[in-house]
């Protein structure tokens, strides 16, 4: 590094240490108020940008961005390129942020399929440099805003997650609120009004440099196929700051629901309000639609929103039984999505070793079971186990190809010549034969266990014991 930059080296991010860094995650949200940084006042409030750019905060932000990885932005810079780039340019970047001349680069537009094939979700991928600066902002802003958020808000908050939200929802249903107002906001992340959002941020942030930088991130253009489009609304998913900004905006909704003494749960833009009757639900839905339109300029998606029984809706992949003390179960839509995710692996298994297919499947199945470990209804796991094994037997039947080969393989696996011949030349399709007794005898469950196939039932039981 040139001597002229030596004085600025203290302000530059260093290589992450093994102990890690990033946003603090406390054990429970109720304790966050006591451990979070107090809201800045006086001169401190006007020097918030210096806190954002403080050496230790930038080191933590750099470590988090590197740990998260992710695709490059429009400049092609990877997370591995970030530190060398900062060593050379950080002094100028820091100065431009402080004097208010820094201009974020446009985000790269990426579209991914929504779960269940319901259209596509748009993401805006910032450059790794802008991700680091956004992360640094997040680490300073989150301790200021998070303690003020509602206890019924669970999305993208330290020490809280989807399972906490699902538990709270079950508590509300068990208390007698057996109708739910399921609110779906239409294209929420694409429709956020910048002026409305910034007015909420400015309630607690007085450093105009921070406010200016946040607004510039909101207004940074979007690059798609080499064409740059300006942004006048929305906060696209993909940047570290986007989840916090969404919570800041929707906190107005939470406070309104609290003022009305409603029982509710919100996870990001998914809001469920629990009431005692359908008529009450209809009234709540109508009044909240007016509130969101007037106060936050957000639109409710009427096609996806509903007033219904909780067991007829899903929340974060779960649904409930009709019992007075409702039990959690995996929603049918979640089962459908898992099968859709497994099918490409199963199709590719027709032309490769069965053990390799089992290994690929098991990786997915472990993660899926870990998420749904809170489910009380175990039948879903048993049914999925049977479906997966039948699919694997179907692969084996196809791999044997000809009736003669099938006859030999079935005999080798313990069937009599008469049974093997009847099965091999029965003229039925692979799916029928995969569920027939002869394939269950030839490929019993212990064969798949020996290959390392994860049993969803056994894994769910193991995880339930741990929790």
pLDDT in tens, 147-177: 999 999 999 999 999 999 999 999 999 999 9
User: Rounded to an integer, what distance in angstroms lies between the CA atom of residue 194 and that of residue 153?
Assistant: 22
| pLDDT at residue 375, as a whole number | 96
DSSP helix, strand, coil percent of the chain (3-state; round to 5): 55, 10, 30
User: Rounded to an integer, what distance in angstroms lies between the CA atom of residue 387 and that of residue 383?
Assistant: 6
pLDDT tens-place string over residues 121-153: 778 899 999 999 999 999 999 999 999 999 999
User: Rounded to an integer, what distance in angstroms lies between the CA atom of residue 380 and that of residue 357?
Assistant: 22
**Sign of the dihedral defined by the CA atoms of residues 272, 276, 277, 281, in that order:** negative
| pLDDT at residue 117, as a whole number | 57
pTM for the model:
0.83
Token pair belonging to 353: 């070793």
Q: Which residues of 57-82 are buried (b: 16+ CB within 10 A; e: fewer)?
A: bbbbbbbbbbeeeeeebbeebebeeb
Q: Does position 15 have pLDDT exceeding 80, yes or no?
A: no
User: Rounded to an integer, what distance in angstroms lies between the CA atom of residue 179 and that of residue 282?
Assistant: 10
Top pLDDT among 22 and 417 is at: 417
% of residues, the chain, pLDDT over 90: 77
Give first-to-last CA distance, the chain, whole Å.
52
Q: Does position 87 have pLDDT exceeding 80, yes or no?
A: yes
% of residues, the chain, pLDDT over 70: 89
Average pLDDT over residues 387-391: 97
| pLDDT at residue 116, as a whole number | 58
Q: Does position 23 have pLDDT exceeding 50, yes or no?
A: no
Average pLDDT value for the chain: 88
Residue 457, CB half-sphere, CA atoms under 13 Å: how many? 12
Average pLDDT over residues 343-352: 86
DSSP per-residue letters across 340-365:
HHHHHHHHHGGGS-HHHHHHHHHHHH
User: Rounded to an integer, what distance in angstroms lies between the CA atom of residue 127 and that of residue 75?
Assistant: 7
């Amino acid at each position: 590094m040139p001597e002229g930059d030596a004085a600025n080296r203290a302000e530059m991010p260093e290589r992450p240490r093994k102990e890690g860094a990033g946003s603090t995650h406390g054990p429970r949200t109720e304790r966050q108020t006591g451990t979070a940084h107090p809201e800045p006042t006086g001169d401190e409030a006007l020097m918030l940008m210096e806190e954002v750019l403080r050496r230790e905060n930038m080191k933590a932000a750099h470590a988090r961005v590197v740990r998260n990885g992710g695709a490059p932005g429009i400049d092609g810079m990877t997370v591995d390129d970030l530190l060398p780039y900062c060593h050379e340019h950080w002094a100028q970047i820091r100065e431009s942020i402080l004097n208010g001349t820094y201009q974020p680069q446009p985000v790269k537009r990426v579209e991914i399929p929504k779960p269940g094939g319901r259209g596509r979700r748009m993401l805006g991928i910032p450059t790794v440099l802008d991700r680091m600066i956004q992360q640094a902002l997040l680490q300073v802003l989150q301790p200021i805003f998070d303690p003020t958020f509602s206890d019924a808000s669970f999305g993208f908050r330290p020490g809280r997650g989807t399972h906490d939200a699902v538990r709270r929802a079950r508590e509300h249903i068990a208390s007698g609120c057996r109708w739910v107002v399921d609110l779906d906001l239409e294209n929420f992340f694409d429709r956020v009004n910048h002026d409305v959002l910034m007015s909420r941020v400015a309630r607690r942030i007085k450093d105009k440099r921070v406010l200016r930088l946040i607004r510039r991130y909101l207004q940074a253009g979007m690059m798609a196929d080499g064409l740059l489009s300006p942004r006048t609304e929305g906060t696209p998913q993909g940047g570290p700051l986007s989840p916090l900004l969404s919570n800041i905006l929707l906190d107005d909704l939470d406070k309104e629901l609290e003022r009305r003494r409603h029982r509710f749960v919100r996870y990001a833009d998914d809001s469920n309000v629990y009431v005692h009757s359908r008529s009450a639900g209809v009234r709540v839905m109508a009044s909240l639609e007016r509130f969101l339109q007037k106060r936050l300029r957000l639109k409710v998606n009427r096609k996806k929103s509903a007033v219904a029984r909780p067991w007829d809706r899903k929340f974060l992949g779960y649904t409930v039984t009709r019992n007075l003390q409702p039990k959690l179960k995996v929603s049918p839509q979640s089962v459908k999505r898992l099968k859709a995710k497994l099918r490409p692996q199963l199709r590719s298994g027709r032309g490769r070793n069965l053990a390799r297919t089992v290994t690929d499947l098991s990786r997915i199945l472990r993660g899926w079971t870990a998420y749904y470990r809170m489910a009380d209804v175990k039948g879903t796991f048993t049914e999925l186990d049977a479906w997966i094994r039948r699919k694997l037997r179907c692969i084996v039947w196809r791999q044997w190809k000809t009736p003669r080969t099938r006859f030999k393989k079935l005999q080798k696996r313990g069937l009599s010549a008469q049974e093997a011949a009847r099965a091999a030349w029965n003229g039925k399709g692979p799916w029928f034969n995969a569920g027939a007794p002869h394939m269950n005898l030839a490929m019993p469950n212990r064969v798949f266990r020996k290959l390392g196939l994860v049993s969803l039932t056994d894994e769910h039981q193991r995880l339930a014991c741990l929790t």
